[in-house]
Amino acid sequence: MSVILFIIILAVLVLVHELGHFLVAKKSGIKVREFGIGFPPRIWGKQKGETLYSINAIPFGGFVKILGENPDAESISGPEKERSLIHKSKIIQVWVLSAGVIFNVIFAWLLISAGFIFGLPTPVTEAQDQVANPKVVVTTVAVGSPAEIAGIKAGDSISKISSDNNTLTDVTAQSVSNFIEANGDKKITVEHIRGKEVLTSSVVPQDGVVTGRKAIGVSLDMIGILKLPIHKALVEGAQTTANLTVAITVGLFDFLKQAVTGQADFSQVAGPVGIVGLVGDVSQLGFIFILSFTAFISINLAVINLIPIPALDGGRILFVIIEAIKGSPIKPKIANILNTIGFALLILLMVIVTFNDIIKLF
């Protein structure tokens, strides 16, 4: 079920991304040869007008074949060269190339706004007077920590915690943290709720998880449900989307910087296999969590596509900027070689991340 849900989420996000390129290219008078979901081999295709619409066998992606996106003889000097991307103004080229990213961000904003309309989990500190049914929720679990080993996961809400004959009655994020610290030498029983399932885990705090004291390796927060009217939901959704975009961009920049210096921890990055596992965890928490997770992935997809690496939208935009500065086009042969190298590097990165995902499973 997790695999099917992941494929559906990915297909929707790719459809949104490629739809952005497709609609803006069409609106700009540029010829679109093919609009495809998934990567070849082709399973199904239908020609409608000048565009072939296709569904392909490999579900991890999608594409739009725009005339002139990869310069060739037809786009440079063919009979329809005026409808080629490379013969449009630099502003239109950037607009077409960035449209997929823009559509992904807009889609995330709409999903998050919908979440606030139906009721979205929100920290009490952000909207104390409006949050209903606040609970102590595990926000992160440290890798290799006692909590992870015991089976506690991010998103679980803690309903009860005890040690020997001592039970915590007033459950708040701070009181749970204090209880764990005060009972650092004893086995602690944690009752936690995941979706509709009530679980009980036994865990022993250890040194080295948190500096200066024994801990089980979780971050906690008081989180409740925030429901907003449509107009406020749209505003709050926009602010949340902006904050997430900044946070994801900073995190990705730090990871890339560490990767260049050989210090990157690839175990902290999830590829398709890892995301399937995350989808399974999120699906147990309910529809709103799936909605939020989809929005999060959509923003990640947007940010990653803006990295100025050949083969990504950001790399193609960089080419346009370079051409505008130098006043002449980059040679098609050079552009295509760089795009091929960029694509090969992305495949290599995907292989490394997927390998780490598989290692985590065992």
CA 16 to chain CA centroid, nearest Å: 14
Specify which residues 124 forms β-bridges with. none
Residue with tokens 């607009």: 95
187 contact partners, CB below 8 Å, separation of at least 6: 163, 202, 203, 204
CA dihedral (249, 252, 258, 262) positive or negative: negative
Under 8 Å between Cβ of 192 and 156? yes
Specify which residues 166 forms β-bridges with. 163
Under 8 Å between Cβ of 248 and 101? no
Nearest to 10 by CA among 244, 272, 332: 272
Under 8 Å between Cβ of 197 and 162? no
As annotated, the active-site residues are 18
Strands (E), the chain: 32-48, 51-66, 120-123, 131-141, 157-163, 166-167, 188-194, 197-203, 206-210, 213-215, 218-226
Residue with tokens 């902290």: 268
Under 8 Å between Cβ of 37 and 21? no
CA dist 55 and 317 (Å) reads: 27
